[in-house]
Amino acid sequence: MPARIGTPELLIILFIVIMIFGVGKLPEIGSALGRTVREFRKANDEVEGMKSDVNQQVDKVKGKVEKVESQMKQEVERVEKEVNLG
């Protein structure tokens, strides 16, 4: 179950950050956090794009396999008819 962070928890975290780094470092920490979030989102978007590409390739292969399966069934039926007639 994912943890939920509410306002009281955020205030406690902010208080701890201020105690450790001081008020002067807050803009620098915020900027670094913003860059990190942007980089994470960019990486996530790239992964989603790759996932989409893989799904498209899987769908193409699945279609080809289904076509071959259909052709094989038709050929088996044809051979069965020939055997039954002969």
The tens digit of pLDDT for each residue in 18-69 reads: 899 888 888 898 899 899 999 999 999 999 999 999 999 999 999 999 999 9
Name the pLDDT band for 5 (thresholds 50, 70, 90).
confident
Cα atoms in the 13 Å half-sphere on the side-chain side of 51: 6
Tell me the CA distances in angstroms from 13 to 23, 50, 73, one per residue in order.
Answer: 14, 35, 65
Residue 15 has pLDDT above 60, yes or no: yes
pLDDT > 70? residue 80: yes
Rounded CA-CA distance 61/48 in Å is 20
Between 2-11, 12-21, 35-44, the lowest mean confidence (pLDDT) is in 2-11
